[in-house]
C-alpha cells in the first residue's frame, strides 16, 4: 500500500514517517512540506537519516496513492478536503477539523464556522477502543487529540458502566511537543524550562471530544510541564454510589482486557505504581490506573501516553490497520525504553 503524508515536516508528520517506514504492508510514497520542498527528510527529522532517501515535495506535487495522512495545522485541511479526497480512497486526518459531530461545536471551541460541515458525518472518530467496528473499512478517519485521547481512555469504561453521573474534572499535563514545531514565546526554552504552566484553566478544546465520547459533564484544565513528550490525565470522579476496588477492577478489565495497546497499571509498591508518560515515549501504549478513596466514592483515574504516538501518529496507523483488516500491532510493536 502506498501512503503519503501531507504536512510531513511537523512532529506528528515525522512520527508518521518513522512508523510507516517500519510497517510491513506500507510504502511511503510522498511526504510534503512547502517550506522544505526538495530537501531530504532527515534535514528536518534527523532520526530518519539512513532510513529513507525521500525528499520533501510541495503540496502541489502530490500524486494519487492508497491512503493519505493529513498532518496539517488545524483549520487547513477542512478548507481543501475535496482536493485531498480526490487523491486517495482513504483519508486519515490528524487535525481537529473533523473530530466533532456537531458543526456548532467548532464555533464554541475553535471560534470559527466549519467550511465543510457536510463532511463531519463521513468521518469516523478514530478511537479504536471505542469505535473499532465502525473503523473496519472506514474511508475517512479523524484521529483524536492527544489530551482528549488520554482523558477519554481513562473515563470511557466508567461511562459505559453508568458511573459518570456527576461532574468529572480532568487535569491534563502535557509536554512541549504537543505545541508543534513552530516556535513561540510560550515554547521558547528560557520560558518553558522548569515551568508547570496552566495554559488553559477552563474550556480546553479537547474537552469537547471527551464529552462527545463519554456523554458526561467533563471539565478540563491543561498544564504545560517540563517534558518533551507525554500526556498524563488525572481524572477526579465522584461515583453515584460507593464501590469496591474489586468492582472498579472489573469495569476496567471488562473494557480493556483484550486491548492490544491498553495496559492497566496499579501497583501497591515500586516506583511506577500509576501511569507515567516518560516510559511510554515512542510507544503506542496507553497506561490506565486508578485509586479509590476509603469512602468508596471518590475515584482518581490516571492515564498516560506519548502525545505524538498513541496521541497522534501511532493511533492513526492503528486505525489504518483496523480498516485494512491487518493485525492492529503492525508497525507499532516498539516496547519503549527504560531508563530514558
DSSP string spanning 34-92? TTTTTSBGGGT-GGGTTT---B-B-GGG----SEEEE-PPTTTGGGSHHHHHTT-S-EE
Q: Specify the residue for cell string 467496528.
A: 133
C-alpha span between 123 and 252 (Å, rounded): 28
- The pLDDT, as a whole number, for residue 304 is 98
Q: H or E segment at 192?
A: helix 189-192
Closest listed residue to residue 164, CA positions, set 233, 261, 248, 105: 248
Residues 302-317, mean pLDDT to the nearest whole number: 98
What is the per-residue pLDDT across 23-81, written as a single tens digit (0 to 9) for each?
A: 999 999 999 999 999 999 999 999 999 999 999 999 999 999 999 999 999 999 999 99
φ and ψ at 218, to 5 degrees?
Answer: -105, 135
235 is catalytic: no
Q: State the Cα–Cα distance between residues 216 and 301, nearest whole angstrom.
A: 15
Residue where the block lists cell 498544564: 223
Cell of 312: 497522534
pLDDT tier at 183 (50, 70, 90 boundaries)?
confident
* CATH fourth-level superfamily of 146-305: Dihydrodipicolinate Reductase; domain 2 (3.30.360.10)
User: Cα separations (Å) of 304 from 46, 102, 286?
Assistant: 26, 28, 6
| Model confidence at 188: pLDDT above 90 | no
Share of the chain above pLDDT 90, in %: 95
Which letter does DSSP use for residue 152 in this model?
H
Residue 187 has pLDDT above 90, yes or no: no
- Considering the chain, what percentage of its residues have pLDDT values greater than 70? 100
Q: Between 321 and 188, where is the model more confident? A: 321
CA–CA dist 315, 149 (Å, integer)? 10
Block residue for cell numbers 474534572: 169
User: What pLDDT, on a 0 to 100 scale, did the predictor assign at position 74?
Assistant: 93
Residue pair 147/173 in contact (Cβ under 8 Å)? The answer is no
**293 touches 299 (CB < 8 A):** yes
Ranges of each domain in the chain: 2-143+312-324, 146-305
The pTM of this model reads 0.97
| 2-143+312-324 and 146-305: identical CATH topology | no
2-143+312-324: which CATH number, 3.30.70.920, 3.40.50.1360, 3.40.640.10, 3.40.50.720? 3.40.50.720
Measure the CA–CA gap between 200 and 186, rounded to whole angstroms.
13
- Catalytic residue of the set 146, 214, 286, 319: 146
Query: What's the confidence (pLDDT) of residue 247?
Result: 98
Whole-angstrom Cα distance, residue 27 to residue 252? 37
* Residue 181: predicted pLDDT: 87
Residue 38's region, left for phi above 0, alpha for psi from -120 to 50, else beta, is left
What distance in Å separates the CA atoms of residue 172 and residue 128, rounded to the nearest whole number?
Answer: 21
Residue where the block lists cell 518513522 = 18
Amino acid at each position: 500500500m502506498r501512503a503519503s503524508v501531507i504536512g510531513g515536516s511537523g512532529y506528528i508528520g515525522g512520527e508518521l514517517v518513522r512508523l510507516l517506514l517500519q510497517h510491513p504492508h506500507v510504502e511511503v510514497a510522498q511526504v510534503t512540506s512547502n517550506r522544505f520542498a526538495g530537501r531530504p527528510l532527515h534535514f528536518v527529522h534527523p532520526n530518519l537519516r539512513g532510513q529513507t532517501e525521500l525528499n520533501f515535495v510541495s503540496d502541489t506535487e502530490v500524486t494519487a496513492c492508497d491512503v493519505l495522512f493529513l498532518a496539517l495545522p488545524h483549520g487547513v485541511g477542512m478548507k481543501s478536503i475535496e482536493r485531498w479526497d480526490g487523491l486517495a480512497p482513504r483519508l486519515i486526518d490528524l487535525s481537529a477539523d473533523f473530530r466533532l459531530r456537531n458543526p456548532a461545536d467548532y464555533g464554541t471551541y475553535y471560534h470559527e464556522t466549519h467550511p465543510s460541515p457536510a463532511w463531519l458525518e463521513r468521518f469516523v472518530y478514530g478511537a479504536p477502543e471505542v469505535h473499532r467496528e465502525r473503523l473496519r473499512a472506514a474511508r475517512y478517519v479523524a484521529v483524536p487529540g492527544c489530551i482528549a485521547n488520554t482523558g477519554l481512555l481513562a473515563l470511557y469504561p466508567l461511562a459505559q458502566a453508568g458511573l459518570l453521573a456527576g461532574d468529572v474534572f480532568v487535569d491534563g499535563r502535557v509536554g512541549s511537543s504537543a505545541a508543534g514545531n513552530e516556535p513561540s514565546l510560550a515554547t521558547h526554552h528560557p520560558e518553558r524550562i522548569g515551568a508547570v504552566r496552566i495554559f488553559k484553566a477552563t474550556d480546553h478544546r479537547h474537552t469537547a471530544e471527551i464529552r462527545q465520547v463519554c456523554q458526561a459533564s467533563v471539565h478540563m484544565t491543561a498544564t504545560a510541564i517540563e517534558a518533551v513528550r507525554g500526556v498524563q490525565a488525572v481524572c477526579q470522579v465522584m461515583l453515584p454510589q460507593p464501590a469496591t476496588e474489586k468492582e472498579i477492577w472489573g469495569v476496567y478489565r471488562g473494557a480493556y482486557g483484550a486491548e492490544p495497546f491498553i495496559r492497566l497499571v496499579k501497583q501497591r509498591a515500586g516506583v511506577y505504581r500509576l501511569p507515567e508518560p516518560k516510559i511510554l515515549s515512542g510507544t503506542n501504549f496507553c497506561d490506565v490506573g486508578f485509586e479509590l478513596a476509603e469512602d468508596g466514592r471518590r475515584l482518581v483515574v490516571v492515564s498516560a501516553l506519548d502525545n505524538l504516538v498513541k496521541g497522534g501518529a501511532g493511533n492513526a496507523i492503528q486505525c489504518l490497520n483496523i480498516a485494512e483488516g491487518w493485525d492492529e500491532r503492525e508497525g507499532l510493536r516498539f516496547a519503549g525504553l527504560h531508563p530514558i
